[in-house]
A and B are shown apart, each in its own frame.
Chain A
Amino acid sequence: MNASAQKLAFASISTVAESIRRKELSPVELVRASLDRIEALDSKLNSFYTLFRDDVLAAARDAEAEIARGHYRGPLHGIPIGIKDIYECGPTTCGSKSLKDYVAAEDCMAVRKLKQAGALIVGKNATYEFAYGFPTTKSYFKPARNPWNLAYDAGGSSSGSGSSVSAGLVYASMGSCTGGSIRWPAQCCGIVGLKATYGRVSRAGVYPLAWSLDHTGPLARTVKDATLMLQGCAGYDPADPASANVPVQDFSARLGQPIKAMRIGLMRSVYEDNCDPKILGPFNTALGEFERLGARIVDVPSITLTQMQAIEWPALFAETAAIHIDNVRHHGADYNPHAKLFVAYGLLISGACYLMAQRARAQVRDQLLEALAREVDVLILPTVGFPVSPVLDDSPGLSIVAEDFSVYTAIFNFTGFPAIQVPCGFDTDGLPVGLQIAGRPFDEATICQVAHAYEQVTPWHDKHPSL
């Protein structure tokens, strides 16, 4: 691939959008470049299940004509993006053999909004089965590979979204997140993942995993690009019972503003006794960078990893079981073996345990809201506490409910707070490491301000995998 094609593939949405707006770059040209790159590289990555070749080229021609007529819709107009394959939009398999032939009758709300904003849907991205069942090399749908090292997993469950954006196949992709499924693949693939506040983006038409924890949001290569994507899909939708009828912020309004004197709350109790040193090194270096930017790191008392797991997993798997039990009875043989086991696990959780998890959740949420009201402006944590894992050949069983599965993202799912993952370096094996910044509900602009300030003084977002 020549240097100019490479440069175009890894350009930011805002850069490409400006060229489109000025009519210096055609959406058709951009989509062709995206499709060419997918054709050249995706046999190694498995990041797409479905490509909408003809439809997206037709949409690109329409966009070009519309812009030529002087009707430019905004920064997503003419931008090729991907959609996780649990969003209803054409063939929608949820990464499961049981839905291999399902085709959605209509687009879900988030996709409709993105199309209205002018985004061009190139195809459907690979996902862990129903957003939780890790694929293995023996699965019906093969695992998406990590562009930084093809022997490694892309993280999940928005695995194809992470892989394709990191590899420069598309400019962004929509993911979903119940315990960390936007931020974890973003960390594994060295990109940005933005989980907006619970209720900020409609989940109507997105296959549920656990209703009270499910969120949607974008993965992109820069903080600014993530805000542009969120702007394109956020907003109230009465079709989603959890949708929040609140004003939509200008998510990029504070990008570029200094973070001097801002108070960043460090939740040490979550990670300090269990985080792998390969992660801890880059994370601690990043804390120093925030201090150099003039922010203050303030310790915030919080819960432990075990307490986080005790709240997240009973809530998640009880809700998952309620969603999947009927399908598992009828199509259990089509599920990955461990995906079926997780449903069985959810059936073992008692009503009292589920409600106790919900009570503990309310308690933690209130404590953190209090801290955000009085002591700090944002919260910070490593994204996860373990390095990127190799692609699996065999079922991992119920490993994610084991004690050492140190995913620190879940706390912002069960509190519902917005959280953004940004890359903060590489581990000793050359695989990406990330951190997450969370903040007050419906204040995505502030967490993006802090993440952007960090991004601008570090080189990580300019590093791309060579494939």
Chain B
Amino acid sequence: MRIKEHPILEFTPGKKIKFSLDGKEFEGYEGEPIASALVAAGVKVLSRSIKYHRPRGFFCAIGKCSSCLMKVNGTPNVRTCVTKLEEGMKIETQKGKGDFS
């Protein structure tokens, strides 16, 4: 969900673009972090812990906590909270420690 009205802030998002998560199409704004586009689209689980597969969500927003590591265009362990969204990006939830493919 996006904030529709705000007493102080005016949001001027970039171009609306399409990207995919695990093959499913999503929409977000160019230049916002991937993870923020995912949260806005209602995606709460971004990754799973390696050993016990516990769900992990958006947590620190500054690329420090590793909760949002995902596979982006084939590259594993991308910190999606500090990586800008681009048109046509292929995002995948990764298993375990991640692998190139």
Chains A and B are bound partners:
no
Q: What residues make up the interface of B, taking CB atoms closer than 8 Å to A?
A: none
